Chain A
């Protein structure tokens, strides 16, 4: 919302200390995002006359404009706007000019042809938002003079406010003036809300038939004649422009002015073309169409409200936008002025569905003053009379209402409750005083009975009034206290363990990735992952329309990306959520850890698994009989805990790597952290270390390939018993001397007793026991 300082000052004497006013607004919750100085002349921009224009065969979007800046020299500029013709006077920014947006005009050649500056739009000059074309100055403007001087421009200071929706009246100047004036302790100049009809004028009426009164609870129509459509006074044009609106003609400008000042959108119809000289307000029928003011044909539903003429011909979408044919014309002399109250939620729904948010709709959607019509009509007539001295406001104003028109509530506000919530110690009287300037009337001592003004429909409960008290008192004045936490600050066990697992992975040299959890159709299939996935109903792009059911596709993409950027051997991990479908109230979302090691084989993934498992106290069965889908069939395993699958380890299937465009082998480890982190941690219990010497025993077993090494290890451990303090596989050999279909597994056993030095006899005995134990698996001691 752009608030023009001079306009605000007219409604309340807030003074001219712009910085102070801006700070006050921000402190009131009317955040000042910018302070603009609109209309200031820009040094270097001078007036020039268009001599001729010329197309260039190789330039489609720009043309060549030759101008005369009064010195007789023909200057050439390239221009992207086509709205000028020979003879027009236009603002020319000469080379070196620093534009309000910070740009410096340079003689930038196009097609090798220099440009002696730039012709300016209103927006480029900081004159408003209009960027549709170059500003055309009046024909009698002298040439070669600063354009601001030529136009007699006065600078307007404009506050650009971010207005929140709980201050609906602050979408009008009067609302902002009330807030600022109340804080600064000055009074708003009370406007006259009496509609003065012209004495002696005949009664004229535009009838109103309110059919769907729940959606439009009040509709006033006032007939005004003696209208002459012309241009607006300079000061109105200047204020509207500074506020970001374009001046059209006196009638439209007054309409906009009233909307901006009083937050009361309104619409003036030409009574002579208004069918049946009246209005019908009804819901549209499904499929009914109408062309709105912006020239777009709108297809309506039974949830859209139409303003029709008395012959039931639609002339506007209620509260959102008028119809294309409803505009007044230069020939208009009599208007029917509509000022209405529309039900906000209906407006919001319609505007959203139609994708049509207008100045009117966002005001109605937030709630306008249901009692503000007389004031708006009075203001409208007062302003229009400035350009139409013959103006006649006819008796016979129609004020159609339904029982749905909101009635401003009385709210009980407990003084102790206000202080309890704010941490203040205000008296009831102080509170009353704080909000009185906003129009809240209140009485009482322990409990205040607060009457909400009709322009504050957002206030419906005690807490809303508390917020108004706080706003006026100033958030900065409530003080800063720190409550004593009754909780012990700490990580939960799961959170602490998640951090530990991350530290282990970082220590193993892996870096943490955060791939997009949204996948394209087919990403999961390409990763070899079966099963359904959840679709996003309203995704913006097809590449991001499916929720991942596992983290694997994201890491594969990351590996492929890094590989294509000459970073082979990437070692990445992610800890994140995966979202497989589920039968419960919500999908089967769970937390997963995925590790991907490019250029490494399955054993590298096993190393990571063993390291993580040892650090975290995880245990799981490595089951190679069930290779997980999408992984290498002979180089991967399922990790199982009891009957549950808790992860996978191994290598990615070469087909999948091909599909993802990865050239290296990729080893992966995937763990269900929702399960693993929730398991109570087993605290390590101290085992005494021996003070006696240990003995090492190296044994190599020729073992059939069908017997996995894990089984040999288990057999060794079982046979050696408690004296085995360390066991390490130190060599695997296939080839000469070892039968085909077998390999030699060489283990080093470290044997040690807590209470003695092991003797030769005992060691020989142990050795034989181990050999016998392992032999049961079909493995023999290598000779």
Chain B
């Protein structure tokens, strides 16, 4: 009997191995291991055997054969599933460079990008950020900044005057010509020590060209504390230069003139190749400006510095004409 059992198992395994689909495996499983299957028959035939020993060994043979066939079925099922997945994967091949959709990422304006990079550098240097309005009084834009009416330096600022308030009193409301009015507003509202930068939009009534705009952006810094010195200004400019442009950049101050600072300076940065580039203006806050901000110049001293944001974007991206930056042309915007 045992020979019959083993023979049936061998025959069954041959058929299992030949199964071509999962369905055939399932049908074979039902046929071979089902109630009408050969092994079920052998099992029921065990009762007719003579001795306990014969029964035991034949029963063992039936169990072994059933297990072997079940294992064979399982193996075949896995083989077929694997082959089927492989076929599926092969059939699913796509060419990933067949790109038909436009990129949908939005683009922050180049000026915003420069603006935020600058803010981030100054935040790292311990500065906070102050903002102000664009339409200002003559007092905040000029007088408080040591430029009383008739001050000759006002002619350095081509000012836009706007209609506001009483008729017949033109000239008292302006579009700010620099971010410096924010200095005064900060001094009036934030008790020192003050470590702040003031980015924002400014306006100059001049004809635009490739390097000049009537509407542009500046970033101004203001530090007011006890015992602030010109050396502190030079050191802060140096820190900013290295943080923003790179550790291999340097900076220098050279004397200049602004009504709202004294001593005043221009600051230049030096590129790693040794070239000097003029970047902005700075200086020690003029005592009259501190007074206008409500601070006692004998107790507090400070410095201020400022430069153009648009130019940072222009230089970084080698934009030939600043007017391009304000074309709102998607072909421009999407480049950055």
Q: Could you list which residues of chain A lie within 8 angstroms of chain B, going by C-beta atoms?
A: 26-29, 31, 164-167, 344-345, 348-349, 352, 365-366, 420-424, 461, 463-464, 466-467, 470-471, 475-476, 478-492, 495, 499, 502, 505-518, 534-540, 544, 547, 554, 557-558, 561-562, 565, 567, 570-573, 576-577, 579, 581, 585-587, 589
Contacts and interface: CB of A to CB of B under 8 A. Distances in A.
Given A422-B230, A585-B137, A513 B225 contact: no
Given A27-B254, A577-B133, A492 B234 contact: no
B236 A483 contact: yes
A28 B256 CA distance: 9
B328 A510 contact: no
18 contacts: A26-B254, A29-B254, A31-B256, A31-B266, A420-B301, A422-B263, A467-B255, A467-B263, A471-B255, A479-B235, A485-B126, A487-B127, A517-B134, A517-B215, A518-B215, A538-B205, A586-B135, A586-B164
Interface of B: 104-109, 111-112, 116, 119, 122-129, 131, 133-137, 150, 152-153, 155, 159-164, 170-171, 173, 175, 193-196, 201, 205-207, 214-215, 223, 225, 227-232, 234-236, 238-239, 252-257, 262-266, 284, 286-287, 301, 325-331, 333-334
Nearest to A538: B161
Nearest to B327: A561
Contacts of B286: 463
Given A486-B225, A586-B136, A567 B331 contact: yes
A478 B164 contact: no
A577 B134 contact: yes
Contact of B124 (A348, A481, A489): A489
A514 B326 contact: yes
A510 B106 contact: yes
Contacts of B262: 463-464, 466-467
Given A420-B227, A476-B252, 19 more contacts: A164-B255, A423-B229, A478-B230, A481-B231, A486-B193, A487-B194, A502-B112, A507-B106, A512-B107, A513-B333, A517-B215, A534-B164, A538-B159, A540-B207, A562-B329, A571-B106, A572-B328, A576-B201, A587-B162
A353 to B, nearest CB: 12
Contacts of A517: 134, 201, 215
A166 B238 CA distance: 26
Nearest to B234: A480
Contact of B235 (A481, A489, A505, A557): A481
A263 to B, nearest CB: 16
Nearest to B131: A495
A586 B133 contact: yes
A421 B229 contact: yes
A479 B234 contact: yes
B234 A495 contact: no
Contact of B123 (A471, A490, A581): A490
A567 B330 contact: yes
A478 B229 contact: yes
Contact of A345 (B150, B164, B255): B150
A482 B254 contact: no
B283 to A, nearest CB: 9
A557 B329 CA distance: 11
A461 B291 CA distance: 15
A641 B11 CA distance: 82
Contacts of A484: 126
A487 B126 contact: yes
A348 B155 CA distance: 9
Contacts of A518: 214-215
A484 B236 CA distance: 10
Give 4 closest A-B pairs by Cβ, nearest first: A29-B255, A485-B126, A423-B229, A423-B231
Nearest to A495: B129
A232 to B, nearest CB: 33
Contacts of A502: 108, 112
A480 B235 contact: yes
Contacts of A570: 330
A527 to B, nearest CB: 16
Contacts of A488: 126, 128
A348 B149 CA distance: 12
A265 B333 CA distance: 53
Contacts of A540: 205-207, 214
Contacts of A470: 230, 255, 263
A512 B112 contact: yes
Contacts of A165: 152-153, 257
Contact of B229 (A27, A349, A481): A481
Nearest to A29: B255
Nearest to B170: A537
